[in-house]
């Protein structure tokens, strides 16, 4: 890179080096983990050669199938429910005259972001234990879906709300001027403009649900192993590069969804 050799007033000495170090620190360990998923030896730390065999092993593994199925059931359902709730809430909290309790409602929506995850985890566990004991209610995997929906809502809510606040209100007023019913104005004007925000919110909700470990670990009952729990169970046994392969798959899913959410947000900014 040929940069002009004049003093750039924005520069601070050494900052470039630190930035590059940060990037290396963040990526090198994960890249090493990914590279070792291709190791043909059966040790996670001794390199012997390249193979895709461990991915094959993972894909043929029944336990992995069950965990993947559980994860998808939970995160897809939680994503759909939380995105719908978050979209409605975002409209109910931006396209209104300020109402009493608006600030409190905003706090409730964002509550799962402020409470440390371990507290949410033990609180949710206590809650489900209580309703199981008092009313004999047990929703099975529904317990996990409900727990995930709660913390997915604020993540879905943020980009949707941001999009609603950026939106040009004159279009909605124009629709109302032209005698569109509120529903029609919403369906034909607001909703199409809101789609990128909803997609971005849904992608974030999916990632946080898909990756969740702490809450899932404490709330999950027998037979409700998700992919992160499956990895945790594997760590405690003698490890093979299969664990690296499964970890790599999980990382790839995160990277895919983050990039999608990011690109949608970028396009919005243009």
Partner 1 sequence: MTTAALSPTMISKAALFEAQAVKTSARRNRLLSLPALIIIGIFGVLPLIIICVYSFLVAAPYGGVQWQFSTDAYLNFLFQRDIFDDTLQFTPDFLIIYLRSFLFAVVTTVICLLLGFPTAYFMATRPPAQRNWWVLLITIPFWSNLLVRTLAIMFIIRDEGLINNALIGLGVIDKPITMLYTNFAIQLGLLYAFLPFMVLPLYSSLEKLDFRLIEAAYDLYATRRQVLWRVIIPLSKPGIIAGCLLVFIPALGAYVTPLILGGGIHLMIGDLIAQQFGSGRNWPLGCAQALILMAAVLVALYFYVRNTSGKVQHG
Residues of this chain, 8-37, that bind partner 1 according to CB under 8 A = 8-16, 18-19, 21-23, 25-27, 29-30, 32-33, 36
User: Using CB under 8 A, which of the segments 48-56, 59-67, 147-155, 194-202 binds partner 1?
Assistant: 147-155
Question: For partner 1, which residue of 50, 118, 137, 191 counts as binding (CB under 8 A)?
Answer: 118
Question: For partner 1, which residue of 86, 199, 202, 245 counts as binding (CB under 8 A)?
Answer: 86
The widest CA-to-CA distance across the chain, in whole angstroms, is 75
- Name the residue nearer to partner 1 (CB basis): 1 or 60: 1
Q: In whole angstroms, how close is the CB of 142 to partner 1 at the nearest point?
A: 11
- Name the residue nearer to partner 1 (CB basis): 62 or 97: 97
3-state secondary structure of 4: coil
- What is the token pair recorded at 115? 């409470």
- Binders of partner 1 in range 219-258 (CB under 8 A): 228, 231-232, 235, 243, 247, 250-251, 254-255, 257-258
User: Using CB under 8 A, which of the segments 52-60, 67-75, 113-121, 191-199 binds partner 1?
Assistant: 113-121
* Spatial CB neighbours of 78, under 8 Å, sequence gap ≥ 6: 145, 148, 149, 152, 205, 209
Question: For partner 1, which residue of 73, 80, 125, 162 counts as binding (CB under 8 A)?
Answer: 125
- Binders of partner 1 in range 159-178 (CB under 8 A): 173, 176-177
Q: Does 194 bind partner 1 (CB under 8 A)?
A: no
Burial 211-236 (b: 16+ CB within 10 A, else e): bbeebbebbbeeebbbbbbbbeebee
- Name the residue nearer to partner 1 (CB basis): 45 or 138: 45
Burial 166-195 (b: 16+ CB within 10 A, else e): ebeeeebeebeeeebeeeebbeebbeeebe
Q: In whole angstroms, how close is the CB of 63 to partner 1 at the nearest point?
A: 17
Provide the CA 160 distance to its chain's centre, in angstroms: 15
């Amino acid at each position: 890179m040929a940069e002009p050799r004049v003093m750039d007033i924005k520069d601070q000495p050494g900052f470039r080096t630190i930035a590059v170090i940060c990037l290396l620190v963040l990526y090198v360990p994960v890249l090493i983990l990914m590279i070792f998923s291709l190791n043909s030896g059966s040790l996670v730390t001794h390199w012997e050669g390249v193979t895709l065999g461990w991915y094959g092993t993972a894909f043929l593994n029944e336990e992995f199938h069950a965990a993947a199925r559980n994860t998808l059931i939970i995160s897809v359902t939680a994503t759909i429910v939380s995105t719908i709730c978050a979209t409605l809430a975002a409209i109910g909290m931006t396209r209104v005259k300020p109402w009493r309790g608006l600030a409190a409602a905003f706090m409730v929506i964002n509550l799962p972001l402020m409470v440390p995850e371990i507290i949410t985890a033990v609180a949710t566990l206590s809650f489900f234990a209580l309703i199981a004991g008092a009313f004999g209610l047990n929703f099975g995997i529904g317990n996990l879906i409900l727990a995930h929906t709660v913390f997915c809502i604020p993540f879905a809510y943020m980009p949707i709300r941001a999009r609603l606040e950026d939106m040009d209100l004159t279009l909605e007023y124009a629709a109302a001027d032209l005698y569109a019913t509120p529903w029609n104005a919403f369906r034909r004007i607001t909703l199409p403009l809101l789609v990128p925000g909803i997609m971005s919110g849904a992608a974030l909700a999916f990632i946080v649900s898909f990756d969740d470990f702490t809450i899932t670990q404490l709330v999950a009952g027998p037979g409700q192993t998700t992919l992160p729990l499956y990895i945790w169970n594997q760590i405690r046994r003698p490890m093979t590069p299969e664990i690296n392969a499964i970890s790599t798959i999980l990382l790839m899913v995160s990277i895919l969804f983050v990039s999608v959410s990011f690109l949608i947000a970028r396009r919005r900014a243009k």
